[in-house]
Structure 1
Amino acid sequence: MPYASSSPDWNVHRLPRADGRTVLVTGGNAGIGYFTAEQLAATGATVVLGSRSAAKAEAAMASIRSRVAGARVRGVRLDLADLGSLGRVPEALGVERLDAVVLNAGVALDDPPREETGDGHELMFGTNHLGHFALTGLLLPLLTAAAAARVVTVGSFAAKSERLDLADLQSRADYRPKRTYGRSKLAQMHFGLELDRRLRASGSTVASVVVHPGGALDALTPSRPPIHVRTAGARVGAAPAALLVQGKDAGAWPGVRAVLDAAVRGGELWGPRVFGLRGEPRRERVWDHLADTAVAGRLWGASRELTGVDPAVAPV
Structure 2
Amino acid sequence: MTWDVHRLPRAEGKTILITGGNAGIGYFVAEQLAGAGATVVLGCRSAAKAEAARASIRHRVPGARVGHVPLDLADLSALKATVDALEQAALDAVVLNAGVLLDEPPRRETAAGHELMFGTNHLGHFALTGLLLPVLAAAPAARVVTTGSFAAKSEHLDLDDPQSTLDYRPKRAYARSKLAQMCFGLELDRRLRAAGSTVSSVVCHPGGALDSLTPSRPPVHTRTAGERLRGLPLAAVVQGKESGAWPAVRAVLDPAVTGGQLWGPRVFGLRGLPRLEPVWDNLGDPAVAARLWAASAELTGAEPV
Name the aligned partner's letter for residue 79 of structure 1: D
User: Which of 95, 104, 109 is 2:102 aligned to?
Assistant: 109
State the match for 1:61 in structure 2: 54
Name the aligned partner's letter for residue 196 of structure 1: D
Cα deviation 1:103-151 (Å, max 9, x = unaligned): 0000000121100000100000000000000000000000000001000
State the match for 2:174 in structure 1: 181
Alignment of 1:14-53 (within 5 A): 14-53=7-46
Alignment of 1:188-207 (within 5 A): 188-207=181-200
Name the aligned partner's letter for residue 67 of structure 1: R
User: Which of 96, 115, 121 is 2:114 aligned to?
Assistant: 121
Query: What is the TM-score when the length of structure 1 is the normalising length?
Result: 0.96
Moved over 6 A (4+): none
Q: Give the superposition deviation at 1:29.
A: 0.3
State the match for 1:236 in structure 2: 229
Q: Give the superposition deviation at 1:89.
A: 1.7
State the match for 2:163 in structure 1: 170
1:100 aligned onto 2:93: yes
For 1:12 and 1:174, the matched residues in 2 are separated by 42
Q: Give the superposition deviation at 1:91.
A: 1.5
For 2:111 and 2:23, the matched residues in 1 are separated by 23
For 1:243 and 1:80, the matched residues in 2 are separated by 35
State the match for 2:140 in structure 1: 147
The SS at the match of 1:266 is: coil
Cα deviation 1:181-209 (Å, max 9, x = unaligned): 00000000000000000000000000000
For 2:196 and 2:82, the matched residues in 1 are separated by 25
Cα deviation 1:13-71 (Å, max 9, x = unaligned): 00010000100000000000000000000111100000000000000000000010110
Q: Any gaps of 5 or more consecutive residues in structure 1?
A: 1-7
1:90/1:142 contact within 8 Å kept = no
State the match for 1:157 in structure 2: 150
Name the aligned partner's letter for residue 239 of structure 2: Q
State the match for 1:287 in structure 2: 280
For 1:91 and 1:226, the matched residues in 2 are separated by 29
Name the aligned partner's letter for residue 170 of structure 2: P
Give the share of equivalent positions with the same residue, in percent: 75
1:247 aligned onto 2:240: yes
For 2:113 and 2:105, the matched residues in 1 are separated by 18
Name the aligned partner's letter for residue 14 of structure 2: R
The SS at the match of 2:40 is: strand
For 2:112 and 2:91, the matched residues in 1 are separated by 28
CA RMSD of aligned residues (A): 0.5
Alignment of 1:235-314 (within 5 A): 235-312=228-305
The SS at the match of 1:110 is: coil
For 2:104 and 2:171, the matched residues in 1 are separated by 10
